[in-house]
Copies of this chain bind each other. A is one copy, B any other.
Amino acid sequence: MKNSAILLVQCPDQKGLDAAIAEFIYRHSGNILRFELHQTELDRFYFARIEWDLSGFQLDVKDFPERFAPIAEKFSMRFRLALSSYRPRAAIFVSKFDHCLVDLLYRQRMGELKCEIPLIVSNHPDAKRHADFYGIPYHTIPVTKETKEVAEQRELELIRANHIDLIVLARYMQVLSAEFIRDYPQQIINIHHSFLPAFVGPKPHLQAYERGVKLIGATAHYVTEALDDGPIIEQGVARISHRDALEELVEKGRDLEKVVLSRAVRWHIENRIVLHGNKTIIFE
């Protein structure tokens, strides 16, 4: 297994940034595996993701923040260090449609998703047998208008108790409260079954069917308080025709949603995503 460190950096663009970072890593005998930059044109901002091999690295990663601080200060950097050996802990929220859940569980088992999944939450009991198959605790927490607040409390407790790093809404048909969302900025990924910003809100397949589009879409995005308006991580489309009834849109949508959501989750847990305003930078 790869044992590497990933440094995510953002700051105003200026000369010498790359040299300073590369030199720091080299000084401690790190071998850089990936060095990716992105400079934004208008506001001249600098984003970078640097990954290096930790075998032979002569600095204890615990001391990294302190040692790197002078460089960070000099360049007014915000930075974050992640270790490839750490497997983020993801909770999956699901309702009755279980295709994304099943797909994520399978990919995790195959090693495509290098994360733990210690928790599945659903407002319905239907998907439990898949959780059982993979040996993952499954909590049925029904949600009605009246019980929503209590339900969210219970969910939040489970999330905290399980040290969850990432919440994946895998066709979870409930809208989370603003309070819930605020506690998990850039930590909740949702799959919306349309090509956003087309067909915001409920029943996007029906909206697409009625408008007569020739492609249907799916969009994975971070959840923010504005419905279906968070930073887009990944999108996909599939071709449809006049012969496709609504139920075929749903079917074709399933294949899309699985691929789009799993890719977004993967990039997140591999520390490849940085936010720039309401847009994502993906260091693929």
Contact = CB atoms under 8 A, between A and B. Distances in A.
B30 A39 contact: no
Contact of A213 (B19, B33, B56, B196): B196
A251 B31 contact: no
A279 B212 contact: yes
A14 B241 CA distance: 23
A97 to B, nearest CB: 10
Find the residue from A16, A20, A199 having the highest chain B CB count within 10 A: A16
Contacts of A33: 37, 39
A62 interface: no
Do most interface residues of chain A lie in helix, strand or loop, or is the interface mixed?
mixed
Interface stretch (A156-164, A167-175, A232-240): A232-240
Given A15-B30, A242-B38, A279-B242, A213 B237 contact: no
Nearest to A233: B214
A30 B15 CA distance: 7
Interface string A118-141: 000000000001000100000000
Interface string A1-44: 00000000000011111111111011101111111111101000
> What class of interface size applies to chain A in its complex with B?
35 or more
A116 interface: no
Q: Taking each of A22, A56, A276, which has the highest tally of chain B beta carbons within 10 Å of its own beta carbon? A: A22
Contacts of A31: 13-15
Tell me the number of copies of this protein.
4
A71 interface: no
A283 to B, nearest CB: 9
B99 A282 contact: no
A232 B211 contact: yes
Contacts of A217: 195, 215
A236 B245 CA distance: 20
A110 interface: yes
A191 to B, nearest CB: 14
A42 to B, nearest CB: 9
Interface of A: 13-23, 25-27, 29-39, 41, 56, 99, 102, 106, 110, 112, 129, 133, 195-199, 211-215, 217, 231-237, 241-243, 245, 251, 254-255, 259, 276, 278-282, 284
Given A197-B213, A213-B235, A241-B284, 10 more contacts: A18-B25, A19-B25, A22-B22, A22-B23, A34-B37, A195-B195, A214-B235, A215-B217, A242-B281, A242-B282
